[in-house]
C-alpha cells in the first residue's frame, strides 16, 4: 500500500529525483508522473478495458466487469506508487554519537516485490544493504522503505539496485553503501525460456565497499551470501 501522508516527504523525494537524474540513474519518465491520481485512475481504467475487450473477454460478466477498476487502483496506489515522489518516505535521522568507527550497519533479507518494465510481470526477491554511518544514522526501517519505494515502479533489477544505493548515499550523506539484490523474474519463469529456478544477482557498491581489496567489502559479501 502507498504510504500515509505523515510518513512521506515529497520535498526530499524530488531532490532524490534530481540527484538520480544527474547520475543518469532515473527511470525514464515524463511529466505525466505528476498527473492527478484521479485522472490516472480513469485513463488506466479505460485503457485496460480496451485490452480486455481486444482479448475477447466479456466485460458484462460479473466476475470481469470490475477488473479494469481493480487494475487501475492496483497500478496507481499499490504496485506503481513509487513513480510518484509525493510518496517518497520520510527519512528520519539521528546524530551518530558513536563517531565514524568504520563498522557497518547491515540490514538483511529486505523484501523486494517489483515488476519488470519489459513485461509488467513480477520480480520477487530480497535485498541486503550495508552502510557506514557518517554524521547521521538512518532509522533502520528507512532502508526498507527506500527499497520498497523504488520497487514499486516498473523496473530492471540493475537500475533498481543502483537507485537504492545512490539514494542511501544521498540521504545518509555517506559514500560507503553496498546493495545486493537477489531475485526471480517471472518473465523468465512463466514465459519465454520458462526457467523455473534461475535467479539474478546484482550488486551496487560505493566508497570502501567499492574497493576490491577492502576487508569491509569481503565481510559484506560473506554476510550477504550467508542465508
Ligand atoms: Zn521482463
Annotate 189-214 with DSSP letters as a single string: HSSTT--SS--EEEEEE-GGGG-TT-
The model's pTM is: 0.93
**Residue positions annotated with a catalytic role:** 116-119, 157, 185, 187
Count CB neighbours of 152 within 10 A: 23
Q: What is the pLDDT of residue 78?
A: 96
**Span from the CA of 27 to the centroid of ligand 1 (angstroms):** 15
Q: What is the pLDDT of residue 4?
A: 67
With a CB cutoff of 8 Å and minimum separation 6, the contacts of 203 are 161, 178, 179, 180, 181
pLDDT of residue 188: 84
Q: How far is the CA of 183 from the centre of ligand 1 (A)?
A: 12
Predicted local distance difference test score (pLDDT) of residue 1: 54
Distance from residue 195's CA to the centre of ligand 1 (Å): 13
Q: What pLDDT sits at residue 2?
A: 58
How far apart are alpha carbons 146 and 148 in whole angstroms? 5
Distance CA 85, CA 176 (A): 25
Mean pLDDT by 10 residues, the chain (227 residues): 75 97 98 95 98 98 98 97 96 81 88 96 96 89 96 98 98 96 89 82 96 91 84
Q: How far is the CA of 154 from the centre of ligand 1 (A)?
A: 10
- Per-residue pLDDT, 60: 97
Amino acid at each position: 500500500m502507498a504510504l500515509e501522508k505523515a510518513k512521506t516527504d515529497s520535498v526530499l523525494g524530488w531532490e532524490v529525483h534530481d540527484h538520480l537524474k544527474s547520475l543518469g540513474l532515473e527511470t525514464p519518465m515524463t511529466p505525466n508522473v505528476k498527473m492527478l491520481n484521479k485522472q490516472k485512475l480513469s485513463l488506466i481504467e479505460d485503457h485496460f478495458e480496451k485490452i480486455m475487450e481486444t482479448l475477447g473477454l466479456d466485460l458484462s460478466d460479473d466476475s470481469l466487469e470490475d477488473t479494469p477498476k481493480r487494475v487501475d487502483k492496483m497500478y496507481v496506489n499499490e504496485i506503481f506508487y513509487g513513480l510518484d515522489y509525493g510518496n517518497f518516505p520520510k527519512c528520519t535521522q539521528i546524530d551518530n554519537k558513536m563517531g565514524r568507527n568504520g563498522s557497518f550497519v547491515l540490514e538483511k533479507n529486505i523484501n523486494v516485490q517489483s515488476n519488470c518494465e519489459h513485461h509488467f510481470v513480477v520480480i520477487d526477491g530480497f535485498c541486503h544493504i550495508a552502510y557506514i554511518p557518517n554524521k547521521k544514522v538512518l532509522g533502520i526501517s528507512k532502508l526498507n522503505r527506500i527499497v520498497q519505494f523504488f520497487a514499486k515502479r516498473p523496473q530492471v533489477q540493475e537500475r533498481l539496485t543502483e537507485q537504492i544505493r545512490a539514494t542511501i548515499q544521498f540521504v545518509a550523506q555517506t559514500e560507503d553503501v553496498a546493495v545486493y539484490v537477489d531475485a526471480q523474474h517471472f518473465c523468465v519463469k512463466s514465459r519465454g525460456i520458462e526457467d523455473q529456478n534461475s535467479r539474478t544477482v546484482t550488486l551496487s557498491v560505493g566508497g570502501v565497499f567499492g574497493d576490491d581489496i577492502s576487508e569491509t567489502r569481503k565481510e559484506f559479501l560473506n554476510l550477504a551470501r550467508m542465508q
